[in-house]
């Protein structure tokens, strides 16, 4: 069993739906799953000359930290409204997300250096609106986004191709027990 297959099995074992919503609490509660997720999220980009990992608030922070540690890199925080944003001084709004919401994403201009190559890590991708916004912010700050690594891929082939999305599982793999 490969690390990716092991992470996939562990994620599928731990993931739950709760009232029709994805519940990652059991995933984060299981230390075996946490140990497998960093390597699984990082592995596809190990040879991509990534210089930092960028992660979206809030679950992305947990997953991004696991991938950053695995790659031996630092973590750039992409923050959303509703929390403290110290130093997050570069902001851009998203296109509508899967709920139709427009979200402002903020990154500190000191977190990304010209020429940085960043890997975006998050829990789920559907429309790609937040990932595209992070990519535009990264470019605005002089870096480039080399790809997106997520736990669950629920997007289209065109978004997957445009953003370089890789995932541990596809949404169709998640069954409601």
Contacts of residue 141, defined as CB under 8 A and 6 or more positions apart, other chains included, come to 90, 107, 109, 111, 112, 114
Please report, for the domain that includes residue 96, its CATH number. 3.40.50.2020
Q: pLDDT at residue 1 above 50?
A: no
User: According to the model, what pLDDT value does residue 101 have?
Assistant: 73
**Mean pLDDT throughout 46-50?**
97
Among 88, 19, 57, 59, smallest CA distance to 151 is for: 59
Q: Assign 111 a pLDDT band (cuts: 50, 70, 90).
A: very high
- Is it the case that residue 95 has pLDDT exceeding 80? no
Residue 45 lies in domain? 36-173
Q: Would 22 be classed as within a structural domain?
A: no
Sorted by sequence, the CB contacts under 8 Å of residue 74 that are 6+ apart come out as: 52, 53, 68
Considering the entire predicted model, what is its pTM?
Answer: 0.90
122 pLDDT exceeds 80?
A: yes
Q: How many domains does the chain have?
A: 1
Q: Indicate whether 102 pLDDT > 90.
A: no
Q: What distance in Å separates the CA atoms of residue 16 and residue 23, rounded to the nearest whole number?
A: 5
> Over the chain, what is the mean pLDDT?
90
């Amino acid at each position: 069993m490969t690390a990716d297959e092991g992470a996939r099995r562990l994620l599928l074992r731990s993931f739950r739906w709760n009232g029709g919503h994805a519940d990652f609490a059991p995933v984060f509660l299981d230390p075996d799953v946490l140990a497998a997720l960093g390597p699984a999220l990082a592995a596809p980009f190990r040879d991509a000359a990534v210089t930092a990992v960028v992660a979206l608030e809030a679950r992305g922070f947990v997953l991004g930290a696991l991938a950053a540690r695995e790659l031996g890199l630092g973590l750039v925080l992409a923050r959303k409204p509703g929390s403290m944003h110290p130093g997050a001084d570069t902001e851009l709004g998203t296109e509508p997300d899967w709920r139709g919401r427009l979200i402002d994403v903020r990154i500190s201009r000191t977190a990304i250096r010209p020429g940085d190559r960043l890997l975006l890590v998050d829990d789920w991708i559907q429309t790609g609106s937040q990932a595209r916004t992070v990519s535009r912010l990264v470019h605005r700050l002089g870096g480039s986004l080399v790809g997106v690594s997520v736990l669950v891929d629920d997007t289209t082939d065109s978004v997957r191709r445009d953003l370089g999305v890789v995932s541990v599982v596809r949404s169709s793999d998640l069954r409601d027990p």
